[in-house]
Chains A and B, each alone.
Chain A
């Protein structure tokens, strides 16, 4: 009997020892990522403004900008695009290998790391996340990105820390697909997913304890209409060069500030510590008291936004909108579009609209996109003579008052719509109006409320020309597929084409299809260079200018490394720290 007890005790001791050893091993095996930034100091709070209030912290439903700004600080992705180098880097996946045919990707996950509620992370969470995103009934925005162009993705767990992704066809930018597709905690969301209530989960009123992620911060509290505060995630998986666990900051507060100007004022007075999207006018204004107020502003050069003039080339106007259909005869004439392009003074636009903090554009890729810019695109200066020649050769004539008429004697006049809330684009429209007046073309500028503007351009097609802009989330051409493919949802000038309406659209279709399966970068670049050439020649959109990305921060904010990729400033929020004054 006594021996039995002794045996049991020995056994217990052994088991406890083994368990203890195992926990210790697990803790030691926590595979953290080491960052290379300056070693900082703990503590402090960062305040930043948002133009609207975040609506949700749910990665599956967050589609508005403010929600994403907050949500991405609390979550992490498998492979991340480094916003500064514009290349992919390991995140939750510490490494990955692709099969030779480019159809299979094996991602090895970091071991031993934990969600912000302390629960461990492993392959089950990854498989669960992708099951959710790819589920048709969930309607997640990630699904559109992942399965765009009939790409079928299957996700399998190979072992607790390896996940295998299988693609139906090769994708040159497959690694980049993982960026911003965050890993969800299975233990918290599985039930909601099976109940079909995932869409309602994780609102801002959800108790912070029920929300967790792998990001550097986690929700602390939310005061409706005022602010959202995040606190440091003690389980975060990055350390600095001296193995101090990141992030340094204790808290981030997101303040709701209604307008662009108000944001600038709050930053100027010191209420907020960082400002991400300054316009050039406010930049000039704020630059005046940089010294006295203790902040620094930075001009990062042109971002990925391209502003352009769009002519309505949609086919469905015939019969329905006779007046527009009549004018489309001019818009479809490539020489007319080339004449308009030649008559626009892009350098004046950059100087007056962006106060010199921008760059003139002749095709869609901006100088900020170093990997993909076709530097051989010609950049002709404004030439009214060339514009007149083009118009003349296309059969346009001028009457005795100098007004332009077409071969039927109809005067050439049209309207340009733009969103009234965007004063810079309105200004571009007004300058184009004046430039075209010199060719004898009468243009009227119509400011529209943003929603009705968008409705006209994308739904009813009840417009003649428009000034608008598109911003790329990434430098890669793949997210641009929906703009350039004739079947694309953002193929703005002619939406819903059954087949390419013109030979050059057909060529763009082919090039875009080809580039996506071409795995070698120089060959891909050649294909996309050709797309840019076609855009510059055929002018489906007349690219005009790209504004610089202008940001600012308090002087003593360490590791502040803004980049031209969204979100510009807070992409390395875990490394930010306050230097002692």
Chain B
């Protein structure tokens, strides 16, 4: 089970890292002739009934009377081509134009349909995953390191320091964080670039959530501090820093990793929630949250099922992390 989960998660992260290559189009490119186009059908059998070994697609003709209704134009087939040259993107600092697959102009391939501006949902899903999944990772790293620092100091030194820090933790736990985020976002300047918006978002989510891991780590540190070998090392004159580094913090590894596996999906969800509410990265940069945001409109929810794609991708992500967290919890926290 855990292997499947790890493979699945690696595939997803791999896909979003290679988004520029895997996505056929630029995520912000509006193909205004094709608003709300349904997912393009891949064909193997052509109009004459003969079978093809390689998939091809037909172009779409918009219906003249009804908005967002299309018919396939069977007169011309566009074979799916691999490693085509297309929109410019950058991968690991290199500027590239090569895409995994594509279609000759004037054809278009929309594996997951398009949104109301005619933007390719598949490309947006990949690029949007970058924001959502990376936001989860970075925010979790941030809040875990904060939690680690506060938790170990608090647990190791105890006394007045512990009391003060733990009251602070309780304060943070009791905070209505969603409203806090609303308030923080309201204070930000109007004109911020998507990158800045992304990091602000991550920092805000990350700093809000450090309290719980801090408490858990404090508990582990508190009990580790009293272990015989720690006391022995202290008797031999080991410094506080050496003790923490060598003997105590390794004890917290299990809690740390389990918390990571729990927090990452939680923060992915936080990003999705905030972007859904319009507080995350702004248009035209996609994120799973702002892609789902359009579903707040009744007509989209009722008419265009492919707009739900980001919600469907969240399912395997959450499942994967949940399985991983269970596994880590069993193996590392109680395993030995």
Contacts and interface: CB of A to CB of B under 8 A. Distances in A.
Contacts of B297: 261, 281, 423
B55 interface: no
Interface residues on B, range: 20 to 34
B193 interface: yes
B30 A415 contact: no
A444 B193 CA distance: 8
Contacts of B66: 284
Interface residues on A, range: 20 to 34
A10 B163 CA distance: 105
B278 interface: yes
A355 B62 CA distance: 12
B298 interface: yes
B298 A444 contact: no
A447 interface: yes
A463 B190 CA distance: 8
A415 B190 contact: yes
A519 interface: no
A433 interface: yes
A444 B32 contact: no
Contacts of A463: 190
A351 B32 contact: yes
A446 interface: yes
Interface in B113-136: 116-118
Nearest to A284: B67
A219 to B, nearest CB: 32
A462 B191 CA distance: 11
B250 interface: no
A427 interface: yes
A430 B191 contact: no
A265 interface: yes
B284 interface: yes
A356 B67 contact: yes
Contacts of B240: none
Nearest to A427: B116
Contacts of A464: 191
A445 interface: yes
B283 interface: yes
Interface string A428-447: 00110110000000001111
Kindly name the residue among A285, A352, A446 whose own CB sees the greatest number of chain B CB atoms within 10 A: A352
Contacts of B283: 430, 433, 445
B173 to A, nearest CB: 28
B282 A261 contact: no
Contact of A415 (B118, B191, B298): B191
Nearest to A323: B191
Interface of B: 28, 30, 32, 35, 66-68, 116-118, 186, 190-194, 278, 282-284, 297-300, 302-303
22 contacts: A261-B299, A281-B297, A282-B298, A282-B299, A284-B68, A285-B298, A285-B303, A351-B32, A351-B35, A352-B118, A355-B67, A355-B68, A415-B191, A420-B278, A427-B116, A431-B117, A444-B192, A444-B194, A445-B283, A446-B190, A447-B282, A462-B190
5 nearest A-B pairs in the assembled complex, by CB-CB distance:
A261-B298, A281-B299, A355-B67, A415-B191, A285-B299
